[in-house]
Chain A
Amino acid sequence: MSEQVKKFLYVNRKAPYGTIYAQESLEVVLIGAAFDQDVSMAFLDDGVFQLTKGQDTKGIGLKNFSATFRALGDYEVTKLYVEKESLDERGLTLDDLQNIEYEDEDDDYAEKPSIRLVSRAEMADVMAEQDVVLSF
């Protein structure tokens, strides 16, 4: 590859259905994934609400795009950083989030978790090591 692979981080800080940010972010990630860059997503503040399990949008007439997070592995987006302090503040734990896995092609397609729980300080480190940070 002639061009150098850049590290892109999509930062998600908004809850899923009150505004369009969360869904737009996911669409941009899926489109951007075609460009063979090193893509990660960060979930902090109200962004952690995007990943709760058991979302059912039938009653509000919106698409339940939480299912789409589980497709990210197909698009080689396998690093979803979730901030522990943001979960704690909202009374959530990892058990409240849906299970998101990817198949590791280099490890006989073993299924591995995409969600990585990080502290606020570790999240700051993740942000600081990116070439491009996009906020939603």
Chain B
Amino acid sequence: MAAYDVNGSAVEHDEEGYITNLSEWSKDLADVIAAAEEVNMTDEHWAVVNFLRDYYEEYQIAPAVRVLIKAIKKSLGPDVGNNKYMYELFPYGPAKQACKIAGLPKPTGCV
């Protein structure tokens, strides 16, 4: 199985790049995944990733993209919490790609 290299230690991921053991996530790993996804992590990226991790911790699911955007709009305002900007942050889909960087499973309902 393929793996990310985080400071010399291997973290396994599936064929789409989602890590297989959610407890192996770290901020360093997030940077490694983001680099593999060609995403340059800014504070706004981190805000989304942190929100996803908190949501998963509380509800045991990754939120659907519209739920994510609605929540980000509430916490960070409409300039960040809108479809267009979120896709600029995560071109391959804010839920799908951000979940991967956040070390979560692919969101329910994402094909």
- With a cutoff of 8 Å between Cβ atoms, the chain A residues found around residue B61 in the complex are 30, 68, 71
Contacts of A132 in B (CB 8 A): none
Tell me whether B59 and A68 are in contact (CB under 8 A). Answer: yes
Q: How far is the CA of A35 from the CA of B61 in the complex (A)?
A: 19
Look across to chain A and name the residue whose beta carbon is closest to the beta carbon of B107: A30
A-B contact count (CB 8 A): 34
Q: Are A64 and B60 closer than 8 Å at their CB atoms?
A: yes
Q: Which of A30, A64, A74 contacts B108 (CB 8 A)?
A: A30
Residues in A neighbouring B64, C-beta threshold 8 A: 30, 33-34, 75
Contact B63 A71, beta carbon cutoff 8 Å: yes
Contact-size category for B: 10 to 19
Interchain CB contact under 8 A, A30 and B109: yes
Kindly state whether residue B66 has any CB partner on chain A within 8 Å.
yes
* A67, CB-defined interface residue at 8 Å: yes
- A128 contacts chain B at the CB level, 8 A cutoff: no
- A contacts with B: majority SS: helix
Question: Are A31 and B59 in contact, with the CB atoms below 8 A?
Answer: no
Chain A residues in 8 Å Cβ range of B66? 34
Q: Complex: how many Å from CA A68 to CA B108?
A: 12
Contacts of A30 in B (CB 8 A): 61, 64, 108-109
State the CA gap A67–B71 with chains docked (Å): 18
Measured between beta carbons, the chain B residues less than 8 angstroms from A33 are 64
Residues of A within 8 A of B70 (CB): 74
> Contact: A74 with B67, CB < 8 Å?
yes
- In the complex, B15 has a CB within 8 A of chain A: no
- Is A21's CB within 8 Å of the partner chain B? no
Chain B interface residues (CB < 8 Å from chain A)? 55, 58-61, 63-64, 66-67, 70-71, 108-109
Across the A-B interface, give the 4 residue pairs with the lowest CB-CB distance, nearest first.
A71-B59, A31-B109, A67-B60, A74-B67
**Additional A-B contact list (15), CB under 8 Å, known A30-B108, A71-B61, A74-B71:** A30-B64, A30-B109, A65-B60, A67-B58, A67-B59, A67-B60, A68-B59, A68-B60, A70-B58, A70-B59, A71-B55, A71-B58, A71-B63, A71-B67, A74-B67
